[in-house]
Amino acid sequence: PIILSQTHFTHRDDLTYPFEERGLQFGDGVYEVIRIYDGSYYLLPEHIDRLFRSAEAIKIDLPFSKEDINSLLHDLLEQNDMSSDGIVYLQATRGSAPRNHAFPTDTPANVYAYIRDMPRKIDQLTNGVSAITQRDTRWENCYIKSLNLLPNVIAKQEAQVKGCYEAILHRDVIVTECSSSNIYLVQDGSIYTHPATNNILHGCVRMRVEQFTDDLNIPFFEESFSVEDIRNADELFLSSSTSEVMPVVKVDGNPVADGKPGNITRQMQETYEKDAN
């Protein structure tokens, strides 16, 4: 496999980092996960825009323009003869320097990107998944797609130990998002999701979901809902680049409505599939 390292291509075994690397020691960096269907990117410009927003928010200078990285990522597909479903993982850190909390000076960012096969989760997309609720213990800048994922990792692990797919996070009683996806509640034919504040990641799929509801004439409200609201929801679904539009049919052991993926969720899934192809 060929990977992108800085702005060059190399074999993945040839990439090494000094152990004094700021991504490794401080989680001092940002990343993106971008979906690939049949060897083509889905929502690539949206992900590149967010990468630049995240990097700017923590003052990392990226060593390329948006146009450059767009074409480098396309070259990466070609270099790997990628023609199936997968993802590209891209990260940019503040670089390699002797350990010191304050930023190093004149140190270039470290960037790499690689491709991985990832089939669509057909079984879960068809039948829905279960989730747990968990306190959201993250910081106040969750709109930055930062490498600091410890609370997310712990929440996801807790879900997995309980046999669940995701952890639905809440600050006080307000549901924010999930450990690695955004979440939506359907009530009386309308869709609700947490507003795009600093407390959630502004998902690229979330942005498309909002646009789909416009096309489908489904009322969409960027209004937060509570953990209690989930118990009375008609439908619940989540979204991300790896999960697509995923029905959530059970929360904390209780079925959501009749415990089957709902009609509006199905419409969103169908629209997603058309959009991604």
CB of 152 to ligand PDD, least distance (A): 6
Per rule CB under 6 A, is residue 242 in the interface with ligand PDD?
yes
Tokens for 120, please give them: 């669509």
Q: Give 68's contacts (C-beta < 8 A, 6+ positions apart).
A: 7
What is the smallest separation between the CB atom of 51 and ligand PDD, expressed in angstroms? 11
By CB under 6 A, tell whether 204 contacts ligand PDD: yes
Phi, psi of 224 (to 5 degrees): -75, 160
Given candidates 60, 92, 147, 205, which one binds ligand PDD under the rule CB under 6 A?
Answer: 205
Give min distance, CB of 133 to ligand PDD, in A: 15
Q: Give which of 105, 108, 103, 134 is closest to 28, Cα–Cα.
A: 103
Q: Which of 59, 66, 145, 156 is catalytic?
A: 145
Q: Restricting to residues 119-138, which ones interact with ligand PDD according to CB under 6 A?
A: none
For residue 274, what are the contacts with CB-CB under 8 A and spacing of at least 6? Answer: none
Contact 155, 134 (CB under 8 A): yes
Q: Does residue 240 belong to the site contacting ligand PDD (CB under 6 A)?
A: yes
Are the C-beta atoms of 60 and 51 separated by less than 8 Å?
A: no
C-alpha distances in Å from residue 235, one per residue of 118, 162, 178, 265: 27, 22, 16, 7
The reply on whether position 151 binds ligand PDD by CB under 6 A is no
Any catalytic annotation for residue 274? no
Location of structure tokens 């929801």: 233
Tokens of 86: 């997968």
Residue 86 lies near ligand PDD (rule: CB under 6 A): no
Instruction: Kindly state the tokens that stand for 3.
Output: 């990977």
Residue 206 touches ligand PDD, criterion: CB under 6 A? yes
Q: Smallest distance, Å, CB 176 to ligand PDD? A: 9
Task: Establish if 239 lies at the interface with ligand PDD (CB under 6 A).
Answer: yes
User: Whose CB is nearest to ligand PDD?
Assistant: 203
* Minimum CB distance to ligand PDD, residue 6 (Å): 22
Stretch of 62-70, 75-83, 121-129, 236-244 contacting ligand PDD, by CB under 6 A? 236-244
In the complex, least distance from residue 105 CB atom to ligand PDD, rounded to whole angstroms: 30
Select 13 or 214, whichever has its Cβ closest to ligand PDD.
Answer: 214
The alpha carbon torsion through 97, 100, 105, 106 (nearest 10 deg) reads: 10
From 22-30, 157-165, 177-185, 261-269, give the range in contact with ligand PDD by CB under 6 A. Answer: 177-185
224 binds ligand PDD (CB under 6 A): no
Task: Tell me the C-alpha distance between 270 and 264, whole Å.
Answer: 10
User: How far apart, in whole angstroms, are the C-alpha atoms of residue 75 and residue 79?
Assistant: 6
Q: Is 199 in the site for ligand PDD (CB under 6 A)?
A: no
Torsion of Cα atoms, 139 then 201 then 121 then 262, to 10°: 110
CA distance 234 to 272: 20
- Considering the rule CB under 6 A, would residue 182 count as an interface residue with ligand PDD? yes
Active-site amino acid positions: 145
Q: Please report, as ranges, the residues that interact with ligand PDD according to CB under 6 A.
A: 33, 152, 177, 180-182, 201, 203-206, 239-242
